[in-house]
Amino acid sequence: MDEEKVTVVEAPVKSGRQMWTERLHEMYPDKEGNYDDDDVFYAALDEYDQERGKQIEDYKQSNKKLADLFLSNPEAGAFLSALMEGSDVMTAIGESFGDYFETALGDPEAKAKYDEGIRLRREREKEMEDIQARQQENAEKNAETVESFIAEKGLDEKGRKAFEDFISELVDRVFLFDLDRDTLERLWRAMNYDRDVAEARSIGEKKGRNAKIEMEKKSIVTDGTPNLSEESRGTPAPIASKVKIRKSIWD
């Protein structure tokens, strides 16, 4: 029996520009312009590079703060290292702080600081519980509205996921005050949406009225009065025809 021949179709190799174009579309789905245009493409690359540079600088600053913390408080550094290695919290506390922790609790001043930390922790937990409760309440209250909106826009699962990701990413940026140029543009368009739509509608209506007036001018049948549009162009109607038309009016 002859062996079946299997044809392997290799996927076309994408150019570097194609790969970057796809990545930019994913990162800036609302950005206007065609990435085939060099100005648009390189402007987006520059924006991406600036954002990456800002993120790297933020990471550097965070790492520096952690390094300074570990140098000034080696016990805290050892505690975090133990947690990262998978140690249980209580075991990590005992291993990192040892007798120092128990001794500190015996000191009234240290005990007061510890109690203050417990109070702050409970307040934070209470705030988080309240937020989660409100989130759940709002999710249930608006579930029907969300579903009808998704259906109205005709979104499939992929479109729904993209919309959810867009909202989550935008909310996270606003919550963290990560207000880069792209985020500010999105918020600006949202704030001015009604005004922009009203202006566009007004411009459209004005153009429509002007077009209608021009059409009406062209369709007017002369009744013997001077045709202003013709005279304004320096091409007056013949005098004989005017006299004839006026005479016919009185006949």
End-to-end alpha-carbon separation of the chain, Å?
A: 107
**Per-residue confidence of the chain (251 residues) as pLDDT tens digits?**
455 565 655 667 778 888 888 888 888 777 777 888 888 888 888 888 888 888 888 888 888 888 887 788 888 888 888 888 888 888 888 888 877 777 777 888 888 888 888 899 899 999 999 989 998 999 899 999 999 999 998 989 888 888 888 888 888 888 888 888 888 888 888 888 777 666 666 676 666 666 666 666 665 544 455 544 444 444 444 444 444 444 433 34
188: tokens are 């600006």
Can you tell me the distance from the alpha carbon of 87 to that of 85, in angstroms, rounded to the nearest whole number?
A: 6
Can you tell me the distance from the alpha carbon of 234 to that of 222, in angstroms, rounded to the nearest whole number?
A: 17
Can you tell me the distance from the alpha carbon of 20 to that of 17, in angstroms, rounded to the nearest whole number?
A: 5
Model pTM? Answer: 0.41
